[in-house]
Structure 1
Amino acid sequence: MFGARPLDAPVDALGAEDAHLSRRRNVLASIPGLGTVTAHALLADMPEPGGMEDGQAAAPAGLAPITRRSGTWRGRSFVQGGRAAVRQALYMPTIVAMRFNTDLKRVYDRLIAKGKHAEVAITAIMRKLVVLANALFHKDRLWTQKAA
């Protein structure tokens, strides 16, 4: 029913030619919930991770919370700007990651228990995935499950 997409073979071939790109794809694909298609999309649309501080990693994706303020008035936080393609590429893998990554599932459940809306919690998990990818690139290592 589902066959290979027309761009999968050329993208895989390009990744196989470049050891650095192949390593970055493997680092992303090691995170539960993220597959090679998402890894390719993130590498194409957001090549900066690994060279940024943790707090900066989510801003290019438009996943950093921004608080509206004026004088003493303070509004609600929201996300804006950034690269919509990155957010779109991360949405469904985030839903999958919340099911199979116990750390992310715990964060999601905690946010829901605090009364956060589901979309706000999902956006927070998307942000955590970008920050996690940045940290893994920075340390040049694969994702590993935390020991209990």
Structure 2
Amino acid sequence: MAEDAHLSRCRDILASITALGAVLTHALLADMPELGAMDEGQAASLAVLVSVTRQSGAWRGRSFAQGGRATVRRALYMPAMMAMRFNPDLKRVYDRLIEKGKHAKIAITAIMRKLVILANALLRKDRL
């Protein structure tokens, strides 16, 4: 990665985000090479951070995430926990969701989604 100027720049951009460590930075670069070339909904869907609602007529099942890049989703969990504690903007998002009565896992998934969207936006704009 140090030999490739583009990958090195992308690594520096991702490392500038609070709570993103080396493991997640490398996981995003390796498993989502198209990051930075998509819109925010596509990036979240690719990482499977968008829930699918099961319903038929009046029956409603629980929402779930299916398909996509599970390795990215697993790598995002602990950085999302750290971001929810130490990033003031993401902490406000988490607290707002909990106050609305959302389950903690759903709120953490929302933080994971925000991290992917932020990473995608910064890479697209080539900004630290």
**Larger relative contact order (CA 8 Å, sep ≥ 6):** 2
Q: Secondary structure of 2:20's match?
A: coil
Give the structure with the larger strand fraction: 1
Equivalent-residue separation in structure 1 for 2:58 and 2:23 (angstroms): 45
Corresponding residue of 2:119: 133
Matched letter for residue 44 of structure 2: A
Where do residues 67-86 of structure 1 align in structure 2 (5 Å cutoff)?
A: 67-71=53-57, 73-86=59-72
Q: 1:119: which partner in 2?
A: 105
Question: Unpaired segments of 5 or more residues in structure 2?
Answer: none
CA apart distance, 1:62: 1.1
Q: Aligned with 1:67: secondary structure?
A: coil
Kindly state the Cα deviation for residue 84 of structure 1 after the two structures are TM-superposed. 1.1
Q: Which residue of 87, 92, 101 corresponds with 1:101?
A: 87
Larger radius of gyration: 1
Work out whether 1:91 is the aligned partner of 2:80. Answer: no
Give the share of equivalent positions with the same residue, in percent.
73
CA distance in 1, matches of 2:16, 2:85: 15
Deviation of 1:141 after TM superposition, in Å, equals 0.4
Q: Give the alignment's TM-score, normalised by structure 2.
A: 0.92
TM-fit CA distance, 1:133: 0.7
**Alignment equivalent of 1:45, drawn from 31, 45, 69:** 31
- Please provide the CA RMSD for this pair: 1.4
Q: Structure 1: how far apart are the matches of 2:5 and 2:55?
A: 46
Q: Deviations over 1:10-65 (max 9, x none)?
A: xxxxx110010011111111110001221011111111111111111111111112
Match in the other structure for 1:36: 22
C-alpha contact 1:29 1:36 (8 A) present in aligned 2: yes
Give the Cα separation in 2 of the matches to 1:86 and 1:66: 18
Please state whether the residue corresponding to 2:54 is helix, strand or coil.
strand
